[in-house]
Amino acid sequence: MIARTTPLAELPELLRVPEAASWAGVGRGVLYTMIASGELPVVRFGRLVRIHRDALAALCGIDPAQDPTRRDKVVPLAEQGAG
């Protein structure tokens, strides 16, 4: 079971929308809206939609290349890109 406290490195490479929503701490509807707008890239297998863990990490402001085990230093989306 995936929870908000699950380390990034322990997440599967591709997550279902409910799993990604649980980990990110948002509702499924929020992620589906972001997917529909193109804000969140996904992998599609026919009708199935999967979210890559790196895309989810980027959404939450985490750089998986820098420290894949940390999740406690999340940068709010509004502050990303601010110098």
pLDDT at position 76 = 45
pTM (predicted TM-score):
0.75
pLDDT tens digits, one per residue of 12-67 = 999 999 999 999 999 999 999 999 999 999 999 999 999 999 999 988 888 777 75
Which pLDDT does position 5 carry in this prediction?
86
Q: Which fold has domain 8-62?
A: Multidrug-efflux Transporter Regulator; Chain: A; Domain 2 (1.10.1660)
- What are 14's strand-pairing partners? 52
* pLDDT number for residue 22: 92
Spell out the alpha helix ranges (H) of 1-83.
Answer: 17-24, 28-37, 53-59
Domain ranges in the chain? 8-62
> Is the four-CA dihedral 6, 27, 82, 37 of positive or negative sign?
positive
